[in-house]
């Protein structure tokens, strides 16, 4: 293996690689969740300020060990239709492994020098009181007991009202004294984050080696587009991020969750069933792009009013162009993960609002049918499909009990009240349409179904 990226090597990197300026001395931001998305999104925004980040990994140490061996440095390859560029990010000044360094994690949440805690811990983490919410609650108790300065907890996960969701996960875990202190000193702004960042693969590390001339085991790759809309509700100081600060994040969250993430999940299940590896390849199936376009204009757009100045159909066109980026190999199976945690905000909220507005739900029933067939575990070519979902076992049991009949399988999914809200569960028009699509998918497969739409 060649040398690994580190501070001393920064001066020797090829001239076309952008390198960080003066490295920040201390952090200011504690980030929880060391995934690729954080490195290609919030870390890049922070790299353009004079703040630094301590990155804390809840469980797996792979990424933080790689970062620690590289003085916190890593590269982001931006892959556009017109080629690639590379930058090294220097915002990460320290790392922490929560599973083995819980005391240090609590001290950091309580520290005077920590002003903002950011989170990318995936949708399901907010439902686990023993996990990140419990850690935050214990850290806040320590900060409150010390009479520490105000703290902002900023959720960067793809959830609606993600600030309120985070507060609702943490608050019930606080003792009365901490709760009273937190009411005065802690804020939970919402934020909408957006950048397509596939999980890193050996191709990512090979590309980093070719571009940098040294090994980077924390390398990530991403599309050129990046957006961050943050509710302007900070308890104390914050980095001067080049983000949009607003009082209407909810509108942006809805626009992004329903349009980008909703279509993403729809394509991911269709693609996985059709034995196609990536989103851009799925979009290239005959009929797929037309379907995505109809889904946006006929179902997603009529379900809500976009934020001021935005047009959902035009936004959706940009999204489809981003999905088609051939430089990004975003695997359908990555996006298909955790459907039970994602579809409520990506699909079911849209369906409920359409029913309210009396708009037919024919087309949006297709992704529901695709998810149902995906959960059954076989692709159109008979390959085994993994169900990587915290509720996967229950879903599979329900489907097995329903037997092969499409209507019974749709009922098994719609009747799962932990996931499906009441108006959607009782939507007979949706049930009929989804059962019809599922019969089509079972009989003819995704490719034929899309082609004949």
Alpha carbons 423 and 407: distance in angstroms, whole number:
18
User: In whole angstroms, how close is the CB of 361 to ligand CS2 at the nearest point?
Assistant: 22
Task: Tell me which residues in 316-345 interact with ligand CS2 (CB under 6 A).
Answer: 334-335, 342
CB nearer ligand CS2, residue 109 or residue 159: 159
In 273-282, which positions are buried (b, 16+ CB within 10 angstroms) versus exposed (e)?
bbbbebbbbb
**The Cα angle at residue 170 between residues 168 and 176, in degrees rounded to 5:** 105
Rounded to the nearest 10 degrees, how much is the dihedral formed by the CA atoms of 113, 119, 121, 127? 100
85, β-bridge pairs: 78
CA-wise closest residue to 219 among 58, 43, 15? 43
CB nearer ligand CS2, residue 114 or residue 261: 261
Structure tokens at 284: 């290239």
Q: Which of 143, 167, 185, 195 binds ligand CS2 (CB under 6 A)?
A: 195
Task: Tell me which residues in 58-77 interact with ligand CS2 (CB under 6 A).
Answer: none
Sequence-ordered list of residues with C-beta below 8 angstroms from that of 439, at least 6 positions apart, any chain: 406
CB nearer ligand CS2, residue 56 or residue 336: 336
CB nearer ligand CS2, residue 181 or residue 252: 252
User: In whole angstroms, how close is the CB of 272 to ligand CS2 at the nearest point?
Assistant: 13
Applying CB under 6 A, the span of 50-58, 70-78, 190-198, 352-360 interacting with ligand CS2 comes to 190-198
Contact string 300-319 vs ligand CS2 (x = CB under 6 A) = --------------------
Task: Tell me which residues in 249-268 interact with ligand CS2 (CB under 6 A).
Answer: 261, 264
Alpha carbons 76 and 194: distance in angstroms, whole number:
15
Applying CB under 6 A, the span of 62-70, 182-190, 193-201, 302-310 interacting with ligand CS2 comes to 193-201
Contact between 158 and ligand CS2 (CB under 6 A)? yes
Applying CB under 6 A, the span of 164-172, 194-202, 284-292, 354-362 interacting with ligand CS2 comes to 194-202
Sequence-ordered list of residues with C-beta below 8 angstroms from that of 293, at least 6 positions apart, any chain: 316, 317, 320
Q: Could you tell me how many helices (H) and strands (E) the chain has, helices first?
A: 21, 13
331, β-bridge pairs: 278
Contact string 345-384 vs ligand CS2 (x = CB under 6 A) = ----------------------------------------
Contact string 122-151 vs ligand CS2 (x = CB under 6 A) = ------------------------------
CB atoms within 10 A of CB 270: 29
Positions that interact with ligand CS2 (CB under 6 A): 158, 194-196, 261, 264, 334-335, 342
């Amino acid at each position: 293996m060649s040398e690994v990226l580190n501070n001393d090597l920064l001066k020797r990197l090829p001239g076309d690689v952008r390198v960080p300026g003066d490295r920040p001395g201390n952090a200011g931001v504690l980030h929880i969740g060391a995934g690729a998305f954080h490195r290609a999104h919030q870390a890049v925004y922070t790299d353009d300020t004079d703040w630094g980040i301590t990155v804390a990994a809840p469980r797996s140490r792979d990424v933080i060990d790689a970062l620690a061996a590289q003085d916190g440095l890593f590269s982001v390859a931006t892959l556009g239709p017109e080629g690639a560029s590379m930058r090294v990010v220097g915002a990460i000044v320290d790392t922490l492994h929560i599973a083995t360094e819980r005391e240090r994690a609590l001290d950091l949440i309580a520290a005077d020098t920590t002003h903002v805690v950011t989170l990318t811990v995936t949708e399901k983490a907010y439902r686990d009181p023993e996990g990140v919410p419990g850690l935050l609650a214990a850290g806040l108790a320590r900060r409150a007991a010390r009479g520490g300065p105000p703290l902002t907890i900023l959720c960067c996960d793809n959830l609606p009202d993600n600030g309120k969701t985070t507060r609702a996960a943490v608050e019930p875990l606080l003792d009365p004294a901490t709760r009273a202190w937190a009411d005065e000193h802690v804020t939970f702004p919402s934020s909408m984050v957006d950048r397509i960042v596939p999980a890193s693969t050996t191709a990512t590390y090979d590309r980093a080696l070719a571009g940098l001339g040294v090994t980077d085991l924390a390398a990530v790759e991403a599309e050129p587009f990046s957006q961050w809309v943050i509710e302007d509700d900070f308890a104390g100081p914050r980095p001067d991020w080049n983000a949009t600060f607003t009082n209407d994040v909810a509108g942006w969250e809805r626009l992004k969750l329903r349009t980008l993430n909703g279509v993403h999940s729809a394509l991911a299940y269709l693609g996985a069933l059709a034995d196609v590896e990536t989103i851009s390849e799925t979009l290239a199936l005959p009929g797929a792009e037309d379907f995505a376009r109809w889904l946006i204009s006929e179902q997603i757009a009529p379900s809500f009013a976009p934020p001021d100045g935005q047009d959902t159909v035009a936004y959706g066109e940009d999204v489809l162009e981003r999905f088609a980026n051939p430089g990004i190999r975003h695997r359908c199976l990555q996006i298909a993960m955790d459907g039970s945690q994602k579809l409520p905000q990506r699909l079911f909220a849209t369906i409920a609002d359409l029913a309210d507005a009396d708009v037919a739900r024919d087309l949006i029933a297709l992704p529901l049918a695709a998810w149902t067939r995906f959960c059954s575990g076989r692709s159109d070519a008979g390959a085994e499909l993994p169900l990587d979902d915290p509720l996967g076992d229950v879903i599979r049991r329900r489907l097995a009990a329903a037997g092969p009949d499409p209507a019974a399988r749709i009922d098994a999914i719609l009747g799962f009240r932990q996931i499906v809200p009441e108006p959607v569960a009782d939507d007979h028009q949706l049930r009929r349409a989804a059962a019809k699509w599922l019969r089509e998918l079972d009989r003819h497969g995704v490719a034929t179904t899309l082609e004949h739409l």
